[in-house]
Amino acid sequence: VGSEMCIRDSTQDGKRLSWFRAGVEEAAIGVQVDLVDGAALGMVTIVCLMIFVYSLGYMHGDPKTSRFFAYISLFAGAMLGALVVDNLLAFFIFWEIMGTCSYLLIGFWWERESAYKAALKAFLVTKIGDAFMLLGLVLLYSQVGTLSYAGLFDQATVSKLAQTPFIGGVSVATMAALLLFGGTIGKSAQLPLHVWLPDAMEGPTPVSALIHAATMVSAGVYLMIRAYPLLEASQAMPVLAVVGTVTAVYAAVVALAQRDIKRVLAFSTISQLGYMVAALGIGAYAASVFHLITHAFFKALLFMAAGSVIHGMEHGHHQLHGHAVPQGEADFDPNDMALMGGLAFRMPVTAITFLIG
Per-residue confidence (pLDDT) for residue 203, from 0 to 100: 85
Per-residue confidence (pLDDT) for residue 330, from 0 to 100: 56
User: Count of CB atoms within 10 A of residue 236's CB?
Assistant: 25
Per-residue confidence (pLDDT) for residue 324, from 0 to 100: 54
Per-residue confidence (pLDDT) for residue 169, from 0 to 100: 83
d(Cα 287, Cα 295) in Å, to the nearest integer? Answer: 12
Question: What's the full length of the chain, in residues?
Answer: 357
Rounded to the nearest 5 percent, the helix, strand and coil shares of the chain are 75, 5, 20
Residue 185 is which amino acid? I
Residue 274 is which amino acid? G
Terminal CA-CA length for the chain: 30
Per-residue confidence (pLDDT) for residue 27, from 0 to 100: 85
- Asked if 216 and 102 touch (Cβ cutoff 8 Å), the reply is yes
- Asked if 275 and 289 touch (Cβ cutoff 8 Å), the reply is no
Give φ, ψ of 26 to 5 degrees.
-130, 130
* Among the listed residues 106, 41, 46, 105, the one whose alpha carbon sits nearest the alpha carbon of residue 79: 41
**pLDDT block averages, 10 residues each, the chain of length 357:** 46 67 86 92 92 90 91 93 93 94 92 91 94 96 92 92 89 95 93 90 86 81 94 94 96 94 92 95 94 93 91 80 55 84 90 94
- Asked if 10 and 30 touch (Cβ cutoff 8 Å), the reply is no
Q: Is 11 left (phi over 0), alpha (psi -120 to 50) or beta?
A: beta
